Structure 1
Amino acid sequence: MSAPGTPAPARRAARWLPLAPATTLLLLFLAGPVAYCVWLAFTDTQLTGQASASFVGLANFRRAFSDEGFRNAVVLTVVFTVLSSVVGQNCLGFALAALMRRASRPVRTLTGTIVIGAWVLPEIVAGFLLYTFFNRRGTLNAILGQLHLPAQNWLFTLPILAVSFANVWRGTAFSMLVYSAALAGIPRDITEAAEVDGASGPLRFWHVTLPMIRRSIATNLMLNTLQTLSVFGLIWAMTRGGPGNRSQTLPVFMYDQAFLKSLIGYGTAIALLLLLVGALFSVVYLRLMRDEV
């Protein structure tokens, strides 16, 4: 604590002094690399075959918007995010949380263990497991064969749906935990009062449950969307963005351009555009949360 006679600038400096080490580390290991990546996005830097990089302005961004591969990656990223995050993880997580509240303790324990077990698996391990499930000679086709249903190579015919299902399988646990906590926080007397007033189950869900957990829904959607936008290892292990580019989302397209084709500047520009997409989603969700306060 500063002495009473210490000048105001010295007191302010003394308050900020404990934050100096953390601020220095953030600037060194976070802000520094981010600033360097922003610089790379405006250059023609390559991994190989280049003596020195030069500043190219917005050329990488103009190239991206005129690149058919980039536009395809944007569409697939939206499809992947909506299917596996906004619809899949969000809805399935809520359904599991609601059902587990009514289930017996052994059922809750078993379900929680299975769902959370999939969540804690490393992304690359989950990718290989789901690859063996959807492969032409995999588990899914074996089950279909036992049921005398037609089998197919799911990773070739429906690759974006296969990787979307894989992401739902791996990430639903987070939504389930968020909604379990949110539902547990709803006062029981409110739902009992609505039931006494004659409100049916769907009406109680729509007029009582949803309004009271809207902030949890928005928070879960925001976090799930940001995580899904950055999924790379799962898709790379299952399809490598193929066949062709039919499951090549933006992270996979960025990796292909930056490291397989050695176009670091162009790949970094795509990474910044992906960062912008995530920021736009975050602004929308934060706006929804603010409007509900």
Structure 2
Amino acid sequence: MGETGKGLAAMTAACVIWGLSSIFYKTLSHVPPLEVLSHRTLWSMVFFGAIMGFRGRLGEIRGLLLSRRAIFVALAAVTISTNWFFFIFSVQTGRALDASLGYYIFPLVAVLLGVIVFRETLGLLRGLAVALAGVAVLVLTIGLGAAPWISLTLATTFGLYGVVKKGLDAGPVASVTAEVVLLAPLALGWLVMVHRFGAEGLVGRNLGAFGSNWRDTALLMFSGPLTGLPLILFSYAARRLGYGLVGLLQYINPTLQFLVATFLFLEPVTRWHLVALPLIWMALALYSWVTLREERAASRLRAIEATSSATMT
């Protein structure tokens, strides 16, 4: 298998894990989301720390946290932990469909943030894609009587996470490790309080699930590898595939989330969803077509430049 084939396999595997992860968090519905998030943070730190230690790169984490880049690490930690929390919350409260919509909308939010933050040119077709997504959100808001706030929160926090990461000069694994290291004291503090004082949660769910039985303990510990493995696969794939193809393959994630929410969790798909979803899919198709077209043009230009350079020498 060539490098491109390996990249495709890694990217597909990462997106499948992300897309099916809602099943995992649904099995932990009896554990409050903040407690699940705390364990996800701590066991992610253990997982990433082991990877970085095996590579002999733990010094990078210290360097990140003791440099001026620490402010970017902290901002990234806040945005990604918020995203993780609302994803867990949405799955546990029967709103996995909203989560899938959020990750469908995310690429278009990212385009909009690129215009606002980095002064990137939107272009007519990308502008039309963003406008279609906006119409879809408006349809859901009017039809359901409230804005799809979980979808918008997930899309916005993940978009802002990308903005912060763009300004952070560090590898993806090193930066995520530093983020969870910063969050670890908060997570540990919450879990200590839960196990020390918690008996019955406010929502009728038992607090302090870790150690209460082997099943919950194993599942909470597994949240670390479940978080870390797809990120490593994504990083591996991104170095071997074009930007447009990476973006296109990422739609596997919300598509699987949508199928799981609809056919496994049996969440209702309203007539307003049936109007909004095609609009979002049209927007994504347009966005993907423009991105792939630009990538092909850039590849042709690079090939011409390489040929010209070789001819001149």
Q: TM-score, normalised by structure 1?
A: 0.29
> Which protein is bigger by CA-based radius of gyration?
1
- Larger relative CO (CA 8 A, sep 6+): 1 or 2? 2
Q: TM-score, normalised by structure 2?
A: 0.28
